[in-house]
Each structure stands twice: as C-alpha cells, then as structure tokens.
Structure 1
Amino acid sequence: MNTMFKTIGEQFANFKIIRRMARYDDRATYQSHYLGLAWEFLNPLIQIGIYYLVFGVALRRGDPMPGIPYLPWMVTGIAPWLYMNKTTLDASKSVYQQVGLVSKMKFPVSVLPSIKIAGNLYSFWTMMAFAVFLMFTNRIWPSISWLQFIYYFLCMMVFMYALGIFNSTVSILIRDWHITLQSILRMLFYMSGVLFNFVGSNFPPVLVRILEVNPFYYIINGMRESLLSRGWIWQQPNINLTITFWLFVFIFMAVGTYLHNKFRSNFVDLI
C-alpha cells in the first residue's frame, strides 16, 4: 500500500513535467508530417466514419436506444474507446521507449505512463466535441445527468494509469506482453459495447452479465448514459458494476506499483 500511495504522489508532484513532456511528445510524433498535429484528430474521425458506414449504413442497424439515433450513440462510445485503446498501448511501451532518458539522468520513471495519458487527451476532447455536436443536431440537449461525465472521466484517468503502470512494467519483464496486449484489446473492442448494445438484445442474460463486468464497458456505457440522459450511477445494476470496476482498478494499481517499485532500479539492465 505504501508503494502505491508513493507512486500516486509522484504523479501530483511532477504534474508540470507530465504536462510539458506530453506537449513535446505530441509535436515530436508528427513533426515530419505535412499536416502535423492535425493527424491526431483526423485519424479517429476517419475511423468513426468507417465504422458508421459499415455498422450504421451497410448493416442497417436500428436505434440502439429508444429515441437515440445510431450515429451519436456510436460516437459517444467510440470516442472513449479509441482514447483508451491508444493510451493503453502507448503507456505499455512508455518505459522501454525512454530507456535513454531513464539511464542518463535521475528521472521519476513512474510518470512516463502519465505522459502518454495526458498527451492523448487532445484527440479525446476533439472526438467528444464531435459527439456533442451530433447530439445537438439530433435534438439531444444537456441535462443534469451530464454532471456524471466528470465522474466517469476521472474513472477513465485512474483506470488508464493503473493499466499503464502495470503494463509498462510487465512489458519490460515479458517482452511479448505488448504484442499480446494488442490482441487482447482487439477482442475487447467487440466485447465492450462500442458498436452495438448487447443489453436488451438476444444475448443470454448470463453472457450479458459477464460482458458488463468489463471495466472498459463500465466507462464507455457510463459516459454514454450520462450524455444521453439514460441512467444514474446509484441505480441497479450500476452500483454493483461500480464496485466491480474499482476492485479491478485497485488490483491493477496495487500489483502494478509493487512490480514497478521492485524492478525499477533494474529497468536499464532488463531492457
């Protein structure tokens, strides 16, 4: 527990470093491209267009929620998914990509996943602004339930760091882990309710309950229900899913910070 609180404290103590390096990281990634940082926003928008053409038009999916058109419903879910997918993969390789920085100077290694988490937020907010635009064009107006979005956003940040500190350490100890993680995320994409609503569908109730335990689903569905005014945190089964979600976060955070603090002095040798 002490190592977990110590690692969390390092994030707040080095907040300015995280923010500054996140901006630099984004610029360095796209500095050789003609459109530069515009690709940070164009890539997710292109993916949204492709998924809508396939699932919303070609497959002629109906309204996933009563009175909610497919496009705004899909975008409010795919925006957090694209952010979490990219951030999970980027954070998992954040330490061994910066081995030169770690070896040449005294640097708080635990903030490296946070830099990726902060850097990817620019595209996330762009996608969420697009989602709000689609809601307004479909006459879906703000309500008091929008305040819940703040809670689910904080859930996403904490969950991303818990995964980041865990995956970045395991990726050094097990070099195949990053590739395995890519396969796991491809599978979770279809198990997180991003493109279709399996609640109230023809899925067996037991299977639906298993799919709802997915922490990615908790965040995606929570943001969706908040913005589309379809539910509250304290309602069943949301309260049970909330307990399960934070249990997942605690386990990843506790194990991740323990492994990180145990092996961080040997990161350079392991890499």
Structure 2
Amino acid sequence: MVVWFFISPCITNGCNAVFSKVNVITKMKFPVSILPATVVLKELFNHFCLMVILLIIFLFGGIYPTWHWIGLIYYALCAIIFSISLSMTTSVLNMLARDTRKLVLACMRLLLYLTPILWDIKQLTHMPKIVGLVMKANPIYYVVQGYRDCFFYHKGILFYSHSMIAFWVITLILFVFGSYMMYKFKHKFIDLI
C-alpha cells in the first residue's frame, strides 16, 4: 500500500499539474514540462516518510534489512519515471479536455482493485492465461511486486524480466508521447486556460 500511496497521488495530481499553475504560467515564461515532475518530487517526500515509518514497523516486527533492499532504489526510480511520464501525458490531455482528470480519478479507483496490491496474482489460476499476462504487463504491478519482493521474498531485480520489458516499453512510449504533446501545445497553454 505504501507504493500505491505514492503512485496514486502522483498520477491524479500530476494530471492537474499544468492547470493548477495557471497563475505562474501566465505571469512568467518557463518550461511548462517541468510541472509534472514537481508534483512527483513533492509526493516523493511523503513516500520517503512512509518508508521510514514502514522500516520502523518492520524492525519492531523482526524483519531486518537485507542486501535485497538495495533494489528499492531501482523500483523507486521506476515509480518516479513512470509517474512523470504518465503525468506529462495526462496534464496536457487535461488542458485539452477538463474531464480528463475525472476519468483519471475513476480509473485510479478501479486500478486499485485490478492491480494485485490488495490480493495475490497467484489467485488467477482459474482465469485464462491472457488475463495473467495483461495483469503482469501493468506498470504499477511491476513496481508494487518489486517492492514486495525486495522486502519479503528477496528476489533480484531481473526476476521479472518480461514485466520489466513491458514496463520500460510502456514508460518510454508514455514519455515520448507526453514530451511530444508538451512540445506541440506549449504555446497554446495560455489560450487553453
């Protein structure tokens, strides 16, 4: 849940990153494309605070750090890059159509239950194999499972190689598309306000 409490606000608040800074955009000239990153970095501080609390709870519960916990740095970077990439795309779409944020909020509520955060993906044994593959291609699943494995199962970063490939392909596509959208509409943001 700690990972979800980081990714979910990054995506929902990142969707509104450009629109919420209307006053700044109209008064001064600066690269608007950094606004989604500022939202993610603000949420990163909250994530680190939650991670410290989680570490204290683990220590009292008898779970001590291992060298596998170093993988948390990689998975945190994955979460940051994915959140920035998705926020770049959705923040521009939110400027074009204001209902985009409502759609993102609804999708995030649904995604909490579709992503194996609250349940184990091994419960999908009775489902068709394609359902499991689609679930494992979910970028949020990759990050959540990575955190879980670093803490509890002590698996390496390369254990989920197929999910890793799907994660980076999706993240790269989102980043390129978001960058293109930011570049294409950078002069029209004031008109869209």
Same fold per TM (> 0.5)?
yes
User: Is the Cα–Cα contact under 8 Å of residues 146 and 229 in structure 1 kept in the other structure?
Assistant: no
Task: Say which structure, 1 or 2, has more relative contact order (CA 8 Å, 6+ apart).
Answer: 2
State the alpha-carbon separation in 2 of the partners of residues 199 and 133 from structure 1. 29
- Compute the displacement of 1:209 (Å): 2.4
The C-alpha deviation readout for 1:155-177, integer Å capped at 9, x for no partner, is: 11111110111111111112211
SS in 1 for 2:122: coil
How many residues matched? 192
State the alpha-carbon separation in 2 of the partners of residues 203 and 261 from structure 1. 46
Q: What value does the CA root-mean-square deviation take over the aligned residues?
A: 1.4
Name the residue aligned to 1:267.
Answer: 189
Larger helix percent: 2
Name the residue aligned to 2:109.
Answer: 186
Distance 1:116 1:221, change over 3 A: same
- Compute the displacement of 1:230 (Å): 3.2
Identity of aligned residues (%): 27
Distance 1:253 1:178, change over 3 A: same
Name the residue aligned to 1:249.
Answer: 171
Choose which of 153, 158, 162 in structure 2 pairs with 1:240.
Answer: 162
Give structure 2 stretches of 5+ with no counterpart.
none
SS in 1 for 2:120: coil
User: Is the Cα–Cα contact under 8 Å of residues 143 and 229 in structure 1 kept in the other structure?
Assistant: no
State the alpha-carbon separation in 2 of the partners of residues 211 and 161 from structure 1. 21
State the alpha-carbon separation in 2 of the partners of residues 119 and 145 from structure 1. 26
SS in 1 for 2:79: helix
- Compute the displacement of 1:130 (Å): 2.1
State the alpha-carbon separation in 1 of the partners of residues 124 and 19 from structure 2. 43
| TM-score for both structures, normalised by structure 2 | 0.94
Matched, 1:258 2:180: yes
| TM-score for both structures, normalised by structure 1 | 0.68
State the alpha-carbon separation in 1 of the partners of residues 58 and 132 from structure 2. 27
